[in-house]
Amino acid sequence: MNELKNLTYGFVGLGLMGGSLAKAIREYVLAVTDTHGKIYACDADMAPLELALKEKIIDKGFERGDADDMLLQCDFVYICLYPHATLKFLQEHRNSFKRGAVVTDISGVKTFIMENIDTVLADNIDFIPGHPMAGSEREGYIHSSGTIFNGRNYILMPRESNTSEHLEMMKNLVTAIGFSRIIETDYKTHDHKIAFTSQLCHVIASALVDSAEDDRITAFGGGSYEDLTRIAMINAPLWAELFLANKKELLEHICAFEEKLDRIKSEISADDNVGLRETLERVRTKRINMACIDTVIKD
């Protein structure tokens, strides 16, 4: 197996996530002196490429029209585009990848990609669907950081055709750049769970900001409102796409949440102190257990 430090990495899209992943690979994988590895990137916008080149994060930048020139040289390709653009890129460049290349993506919704993947992939590359569970309310390469992955979860949805050697390489890479836990699952489970932990949270945060009487409300904040709404500083085009691409799962979770909210509302409405305390105690225990599980796994 090629060592991680000897690979040529190619980033398709050098925004917040692509930039952060490239920075992390530069810092944790290719920082050593005896490395032969390279980092290339292509983007529709020249500005991040020029900045990344200046910062010595990438060795070479490619305009979007020259993507094929880059792909031909890359052992490991990280497609860091929006979900639909990811599928489209794979389709349009299916014959341009280096034979035997490992290709992965970061799309937050997987079902519609995986249901079409066999028709868009050439058979001489190994595509490993993935989802790094990290991000920022800020956008673009300018706000990228190689340290946002420390202690985070990485979800992999291996395909039957993935070789064990490539899967091992992928796991070694994400561990090297800071992720502390790798979850292996199938794409349907991923979309179901992510609709809850990620998309539902963004919907709730957005509704909570939308329902504020004015934008001076944080003068009365003690941290809770700020914490619950930070992710409402949302990348609208990306999240609209994610919500709609995972519509069925997301709507189910919204309804389940509304039911639980209604239950608490009813207890308040009925002055049901005993019921309310029981609900809050149960919720407290459940949330503490979540934190304990995380600690155990991370330890």
Residues binding a copy of itself: number (CB under 8 A): 89
Q: Is 15 helix (H, G, I), strand (E, B) or coil?
A: coil
Residues 215-244 binding a copy of itself (CB under 8 A) are: 215-225, 227-234, 236-237, 239-241, 243-244
Percentages of the chain per state (helix, strand, coil), in multiples of 5? 55, 15, 35
CB of 48 to a copy of itself, least distance (A): 21
Site for a copy of itself in 55-94 (CB under 8 A): none
Question: What minimum distance in Å lies between the beta carbon of 101 and a copy of itself?
Answer: 27
Report the distance separating Cα 240 and Cα 227, nearest Å: 22
Q: Which residues, 185 to 214, sit near a copy of itself by CB under 8 A?
A: 190, 193-194, 196-198, 200-213
Separation between Cα atoms, residue 135 and residue 138, nearest integer Å: 8
Applying the rule CB under 8 A, the residues between 107 and 166 that interact with a copy of itself are 133-135, 152-153, 155
Burial 125-164 (b: 16+ CB within 10 A, else e): bbbbbbbbbbbbeebbbeebebebbeebbbbbbbbeebee
Shortest Cβ distance from residue 242 to a copy of itself (Å)? 10
Which helix or strand (DSSP H or E) is residue 252 part of? helix 247-269
Q: Which is nearer to a copy of itself, 10 or 129 (CB)?
A: 129
Among 160, 271, 296, 299, binds a copy of itself (CB under 8 A): 271
Please identify, using beta-carbon distances, which residue of 87 and 231 lies nearer to a copy of itself: 231
Contact set for a copy of itself, span 274-293 (CB under 8 A): 276-277, 279-284, 286-291, 293
Q: Which residues contact 232 (CB under 8 A, 6 or more apart)?
A: 202, 205, 206, 208, 209
The CB-of-81 to a copy of itself minimum distance in angstroms stands at 18
- Beta strands 130-133 and 153-156: pairing type? antiparallel
